[in-house]
């Protein structure tokens, strides 16, 4: 195929999964088009998710470090003030640069782009609404749904985007709220809680489950809660928001706490960060018979990412957890290779999860709870950053690395980190997991000194109770 309306592949959605799928398909010689309803490419991640939040996390971290940490290094700082408009401008510039970069990549790779809403008319037809209603029909042998996800809503907290806001709103506050209530103690809620607490807000996080970061290693969650509390973030776990009412120009948030009593929290902003749900509205899935899960809204797919309708594929957040940009990218590459007749695949056991609080959290593989449930015997190695020279020199010694290795084979089953820079350290162990490596492989690898990566090596050594720089276990 090679006309303006006929393609080998049409991708609906130009987020991390969609634009990567389109680029890889074009690399493989497939005539490819991508349809994006927003004005810019990059999806939630580049526009209102991963990238702008990390820009604000970096800026707010530097602000807090100068105000609170410079003195410990013998640096005397004068009057430090916040220019929020400049901080937001820097964030927006980064977003604009990266989204423009995606557009340039698509053009350079000869991917045809259509900006408008895409709807499936049939298994081989995608109608694109452009210019306020003009419809153009694209025909293709293969269609990839990559429409991502949107913030989940709560009936008790209907969004008005002024008092009760979502994560997109919280990236663009015009002023620092005096009091901020964050509903949801997952990655998004904690990262945005960190940003605004550093910039001066009094922040309370309300989490329904009994720990922050539900599903993560419990030891990591407990430490993160302690550290965030020291940073001024109040945490209420096993708690739920019952209502939010306006009073005296603010919100009064009623929260049910573990003893079944109710507390009221004043709030200038209430951030609903209770997860995300697949974005399938308006795609025409029901009309052509594409199955969706009624409860979760996700699009079920097989091992080759095909839906129940031949020729229609789905990737990324729209097919469910983990809802991570790098997982979507991996699936985008894999589905393009499968369509091109190559053996594309994704190893879901080797996908890391990262939370960009400070200290950071990074994980890959199984937790102890999961291994116990699966009745897999394992050995544990733990090493703390407080015993690492580089971490001490940087005045960032909170945290640890925990490695879980199968007892019978020493194969690395899971790695759980909390500490400085672990978003980068996790890559080493992801590679080890990908290749089926062992704790011994990590332990025998020479790590440069002094570096934070030595904590990973020491944790691997600790699996066999031979960590060099920690006190041996008794018994």
Is the confidence at residue 429, as pLDDT, over 80? Answer: yes
Q: What integer best gives the mean pLDDT of the chain?
A: 96
pLDDT in tens, 268-314: 999 999 999 999 999 999 999 999 998 889 999 999 999 999 999 99
How confident is the model over 32-74, as pLDDT tens digits? 999 999 999 999 999 999 999 999 999 999 999 999 889 999 9
Report the pLDDT averaged over residues 87-96: 98
7 CB-side CA count, 13 A = 32
Judged against a pLDDT cut of 70, whether residue 475 lies above it is answered with: no
Of all residues in the chain, the percent with pLDDT exceeding 90 is 93
Alpha-carbon distance 186 to 355, whole Å?
A: 9
User: How is residue 154 annotated by DSSP?
Assistant: B
Q: Would the pLDDT of 3 be above 80? A: no
Joined together, the tokens standing for residue 351 give 């996908």
Mean pLDDT of 467-473: 85
Residue 1, pLDDT above cutoff 70: no
Task: State how far the Cα of 233 lies from the Cα of 57, in Å rounded to an integer.
Answer: 15
170: which residues sit within 8 A by CB, 6+ positions away?
192, 196, 269, 271
Overall average pLDDT of the 73-80 stretch: 92
Q: Which two tokens stand for residue 106?
A: 């698509």
Residue-range domains of the chain with CATH:
6-150+277-346 (3.50.50.60), 164-274 (3.50.50.60), 350-463 (3.30.390.30)
- pLDDT for 383 beyond 60: yes
Predicted local distance difference test score (pLDDT) of residue 2:
45
Report, as an integer, the average pLDDT of 397-417.
98
User: For residue range 153-186, what is the model confidence (pLDDT) as tens digits?
Assistant: 899 999 999 999 999 999 999 999 999 999 999 9
Q: Is 15 exposed, middle or buried (0-12, 13-18, 19+ CB in 10 A)?
A: buried
Q: List the structure tokens of 90.
A: 């820097």
Q: Is 449 a catalytic residue?
A: yes
pTM for the complete prediction? 0.95
SS (H, E, C) 242-290: EEEEEECCEEEEEEECCCCCEEEEEECEEEECCCEEECCCCCCHHHHCC
Catalytic residue among 73, 416, 449, 469: 449
């Amino acid at each position: 195929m090679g006309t303006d309306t006929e393609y080998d592949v049409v991708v609906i959605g130009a987020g991390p999964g969609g634009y990567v799928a389109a680029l890889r398909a074009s690399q493989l010689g497939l005539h490819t088009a991508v349809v994006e309803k927003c004005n810019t490419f990059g999806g939630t991640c580049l526009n209102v998710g991963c990238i702008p939040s990390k820009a604000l996390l970096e800026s707010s971290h530097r602000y807090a470090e100068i105000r609170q940490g410079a003195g410990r290094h013998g640096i005397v700082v004068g009057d430090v003030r916040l220019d929020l408009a400049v901080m937001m401008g820097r964030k927006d510039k980064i977003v604009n640069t990266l989204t423009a970069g995606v557009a340039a990549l698509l053009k350079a790779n000869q991917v045809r782009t259509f900006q408008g809403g895409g709807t499936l008319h049939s298994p081989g037809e995608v109608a694109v609404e452009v210019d306020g209603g003009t419809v153009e029909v694209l025909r293709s042998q293969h269609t990839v749904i990559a429409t991502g996800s949107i913030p989940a809503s709560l009936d008790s907290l209907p969004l008005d985007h002024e008092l009760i806001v979502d994560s997109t709103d919280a990236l663009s506050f015009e002023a620092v709220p005096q009091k901020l209530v964050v509903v949801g103690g997952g990655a998004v809620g904690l990262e945005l809680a960190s940003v605004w607490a550093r910039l001066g807000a009094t922040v309370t996080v309300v989490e329904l489950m009994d720990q922050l970061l539900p599903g993560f290693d419990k030891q990591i969650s407990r430490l993160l809660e302690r550290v965030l509390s020291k940073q001024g973030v109040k945490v209420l776990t096993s708690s739920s928001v019952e209502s939010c009412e306006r009073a005296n120009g603010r919100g009064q948030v009623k929260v049910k706490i573990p003893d079944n009593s109710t507390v009221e929290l004043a709030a200038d902003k209430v951030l609903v960060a209770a997860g995300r749900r697949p974005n399938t509205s308006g795609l025409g899935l029901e009309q052509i018979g594409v199955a969706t899960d009624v409860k979760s809204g996700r699009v079920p797919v097989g091992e080759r990412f095909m839906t129940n309708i031949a020729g229609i594929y789905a990737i990324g957040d729209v097919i469910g957890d983990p809802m991570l940009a790098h997982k979507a990218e991996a699936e985008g590459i894999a589905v393009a290779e499968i369509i091109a007749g190559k053996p594309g695949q994704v190893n879901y056991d080797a996908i890391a999860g990262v939370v960009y609080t400070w200290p950071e959290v990074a994980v890959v593989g199984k937790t102890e709870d999961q291994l116990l449930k699966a009745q897999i015997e394992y050995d544990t190695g733990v090493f703390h950053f407080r015993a690492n020279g580089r971490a001490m020199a940087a005045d960032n010694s909170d945290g640890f690395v925990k490695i879980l290795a199968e007892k019978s084979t020493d194969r690395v089953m899971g790695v759980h980190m909390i500490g400085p820079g672990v978003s980068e350290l996790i890559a080493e162990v992801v590679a080890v997991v990908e290749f089926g490596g062992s704790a011994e492989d990590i332990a025998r690898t020479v790590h440069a000194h002094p570096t934070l990566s030595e904590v990973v090596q020491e944790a691997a050594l600790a699996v066999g109770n031979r960590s060099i720089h920690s006190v041996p276990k008794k018994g």
